A and B are shown apart, each in its own frame.
Chain A
Amino acid sequence: MSETRFTKDHEWIRLDGDTATVGITKYAAEQLGDVVFVELPVVGKLVAQASEAAVVESVKAASEVFAPLSGEIVAINEALADDPAKVNADPEGAGWFFSMKVSDSGQLAELMSADQYADYVKGL
């Protein structure tokens, strides 16, 4: 069972071997409101930790999603093209954004655990 870690920018990341799945948290999805479009990176793109990896558009505004770790994009959630509402319905499951091959899993230690993230959100 892999552990999910969280960023201060409200992304979640779940590492399985050297492949990580990334999405936005339930808190972020609630704050954004209805998601109408998600712009995902192309497979094969190299992203650096904290660089822009995706853009999520709600009715109201566009928001950046940053790569929680450095690595290479290996898959994207194609289902979001037709049904971006999955991000609101199941942000930490079927509403995942992309998966990436992580180049330095040591970076994971800098991210928050579920408990730490819950405390962080409470303080906002």
Chain B
Amino acid sequence: MRRTPLRLLDRMTAADLRQTALHALHVAAGARMVPFAGYDMPVQYKPGILQEHLHTREAAGLFDVSHMGQAALIGPDHATTAAALERLVPGEIQGLGLGRMRYTLLLNEKGGIEDDLMVTRGREPADDGVLLLVVNAARKEHDFAYLRERLPANVRLVTFEDRALIALQGPKAAAVLARHAPVVADLGFMTATSALCAGLACHISRSGYTGEDGFEISVPGEHAVTLAECLLAEEEVMPIGLGARDSLRLEAGLCLYGHDIDETTSPVEAGLTFAIGKRRKIEKDFLGAPRIMAELFDGAQRQRVGMRLEGRAPAREGAAICDDTGTALGTVTSGGFAPSLNAAIAMGYVAPRAAKDGTPLQLIVRDQPRPASTAPMPFVPHRYFRRKEEAS
């Protein structure tokens, strides 16, 4: 386990780091800035991670996620563009409705995960053949190169380096955003639309990565400060740093690329089989299908599970997971303190025999075994907004 001596917390220099369009706003708000995925990003503001986390679960939090990669695949028509992407992801993309979005996985030949991403089909007829992508910040250069090498000649990738991305998350996000973009009141979870927000041309999706209802708003970089200031002026909204973003997604049981999933983990091991479309399982025509289909039928060698520790001491990434006799079962891939539960939680990979909820475990923290047990995820229930006709 990696620990930081207190002396290493001294402020790091930000010379080589990129800045988002909201950088000056973060600094002016008193954020503590840290390097993340090549960007100088706010890890927390003055209230601190605990308060920021709890505020997002109770009201609304504004996150700068402009470091993430925004791009579009552009082909002659939806069927062509979707088929090109489907070679590389296991999700049902051809059947994606207008204005609908889907969480999917960029795969490699070995059935490992190159990245996880959001794919959105444009809502307007003029957008036919366009799929919008949002990929992880730390993987964007890799993903874009990976896609370009594998796309057919009639489908091209266009990246939007100059667009910002602002997430508004929490139970009050919809009420707040509807004051500036009334159309969002009618937007179901995992759907998207182009809309004016505070008079600015934006692309708004009802989505996020906190387990709460919320939105991600793509806006040209030059208008990002105007939009962020407008939303932050609402009394329910507080700026939230990457620290709380991480604790929120962990409580929601959501994977962090490079930690909980990577090039070696398969969707089956990671418990992400919901991302494999029914038709795709029959046609088996995506990268890595042999391994993934074999694991679907026969089970995987390891399984991602949630874990709850008995005390408050967190078990961090890298901590060994053992059974109650001390036999090694696997490794923690994300772990920390869950502010909404006032308890330590973790996720990691274990041998299948220990994947059943309630299995007693020991997590080894600084050479000491800490009692824990396998726990269902999400740790905190998702509260996504479903329209009535979609709920049935």
Contacts and interface: CB of A to CB of B under 8 A. Distances in A.
Interface string B326-351: 00000000001101000010000000
B11 A63 contact: no
Interface string B20-58: 000000000000100000000001100011100100000
A57 B314 CA distance: 8
A37 B339 CA distance: 12
A84 B311 CA distance: 13
A121 to B, nearest CB: 9
How large, as a class, is the contact surface on chain B?
A: 20 to 34
B29 to A, nearest CB: 16
Nearest to A66: B5
Contacts of B313: 37, 39, 57
Interface residues of A, number: 26
Interface string A55-66: 101111111111
Nearest to B343: A36
A65 B312 contact: no
Contact of A31 (B9, B311, B366): B9
A109 interface: no
Nearest to B243: A60
A39 to B, nearest CB: 7
Interface in A60-101: 60-66, 84
A64 B336 contact: no
Given A32-B9, A84-B312, 12 more contacts: A10-B6, A28-B6, A37-B344, A39-B366, A58-B49, A59-B50, A60-B49, A61-B3, A62-B3, A63-B9, A64-B3, A124-B11
14 contacts: A32-B6, A33-B44, A34-B48, A36-B312, A36-B314, A37-B311, A59-B243, A59-B247, A59-B339, A60-B336, A62-B316, A64-B6, A65-B6, A66-B5
By Cβ-Cβ distance, the 9 closest A-B pairs, closest first, are: A36-B337, A59-B49, A34-B50, A31-B9, A10-B6, A124-B10, A37-B312, A37-B313, A62-B3
